[in-house]
Amino acid sequence: MNIIQIYKRFPTQQSCIDHLERVRWDNTPTCPYCKSTRQTPRKNTNRYHCNSCNTSYSVMVGTIFHNTKLDFQKWFLAITLVLNAKKGLSARQLGRDIEVTKDTAWYMLMRLRKAMVEYGELLQGIVEADETYIGGKNKNRHKHKKTKGGQGRNTKDKDAVFGLVERGGKVMAQKVNKVDGRTLKTIINRNVEEGATVSTDEWRSYNGLDGKFEHLIVKHGAGIYVDGLAHTNTMEGFWSLLKRGVIGQFHNVSSKYLNKYINEFCYRYNNRNNNQIFELTLQKALNI
């Protein structure tokens, strides 16, 4: 959905709240504290009095919208803008788009990122594994990851990021402290179905994968990028999307928040063909 459709479908604050109540409660208000459905609506508010535990609550309690003073239309538009922003959306841009301050937009984005987390199923079929670096000095990279002409251009600390992608399926990626065999293989073992095919470059951390998986190796060091089914081009496509976002929109993300940005990019990528992504994101926002 684009912002015009959202704007028309949810023209008022009340229409947004009604929708959230439908999504969260299926129109049966339920106390978030004691789970009772015995309640009395409070007049002229969107709050309910729980007749079981005597508290009062609204649909926002315990969700990413808890205590928000912003109009829900702005939240709904923000969700739509973020979901449609392939290369990510900066707080500055979101602030301009929905007329809130940059700080408010930043806070909204951080909250929305909590909803944009996925708990993955095991990856199957042919899975590409690859590492990359965000920021940092080229000279500190492992030789096979150096980029031409990049020497000394980046001075900030680098972060290593490791990713797995099922060809035609989902991606997962995370910041890692090391790119040694133990770290990378632990992640692969946890996230890839046994017996699947894992395609990597010749980096030595991937040695020994052939015990549990079929291991395809493409020799980047020899200038080979595709060798039959052996390649990491899908993963590299994701890296370039992520890097354009991080460098272009976020002007070097602080290492502390990097995983949140990575999750956001994975979430968008994994739902690229999901036309219910707005509803899915609302559900996730409400079930936190």
Amino acid in the structure at residue 205: S
Check residue 53 for interaction with Zn ion (CB under 5 A).
yes
Smallest gap from Cβ 182 to Zn ion, in A, equals 48
Taking the least distance from each CB to Zn ion, the nearer of 11 and 41 is 41
Q: What is the CA radius of gyration of the chain?
A: 22
Instruction: Specify the length of the chain in residues.
Output: 288
Please write down the long-range contacts of 140-144, taking CB distance under 8 Å and 24 or more positions apart.
Answer: 142/179, 142/203, 143/221, 144/201, 144/202, 144/203, 144/220, 144/221
User: Binding string to Zn ion for residues 13 to 32, with x set by CB under 5 A, is what?
Assistant: ------------------x-
Amino acid in the structure at residue 242: L
Taking the least distance from each CB to Zn ion, the nearer of 34 and 229 is 34
Check residue 52 for interaction with Zn ion (CB under 5 A).
yes
User: Judged by CB under 5 A, how many residues of this single chain contact Zn ion?
Assistant: 7
Smallest gap from Cβ 24 to Zn ion, in A, equals 15
Check residue 39 for interaction with Zn ion (CB under 5 A).
no
Check residue 51 for interaction with Zn ion (CB under 5 A).
no
Taking the least distance from each CB to Zn ion, the nearer of 36 and 93 is 36
Smallest gap from Cβ 67 to Zn ion, in A, equals 19
Piece of the chain touching Zn ion by CB under 5 A; list 11-19, 46-54, 177-185, 202-210: 46-54
Check residue 36 for interaction with Zn ion (CB under 5 A).
yes
Taking the least distance from each CB to Zn ion, the nearer of 7 and 33 is 33
Piece of the chain touching Zn ion by CB under 5 A; list 49-57, 114-122, 189-197, 215-223: 49-57
Residue from 14, 34, 142, 229 binding Zn ion (CB under 5 A): 34
Piece of the chain touching Zn ion by CB under 5 A; list 36-44, 77-85, 106-114, 149-157: 36-44
Taking the least distance from each CB to Zn ion, the nearer of 33 and 107 is 33
Q: What are the backbone dihedrals phi and psi of residue 38, each rounded to the nearest 5 degrees, phi first? A: -80, 110
As to burial, measured by CB atoms within 10 angstroms (0-12 exposed, 13-18 middle, 19+ buried), residue 20 is buried
Smallest gap from Cβ 21 to Zn ion, in A, equals 16
Taking the least distance from each CB to Zn ion, the nearer of 31 and 81 is 31
Chain positions contacting Zn ion, by CB under 5 A? 31, 33-34, 36, 50, 52-53
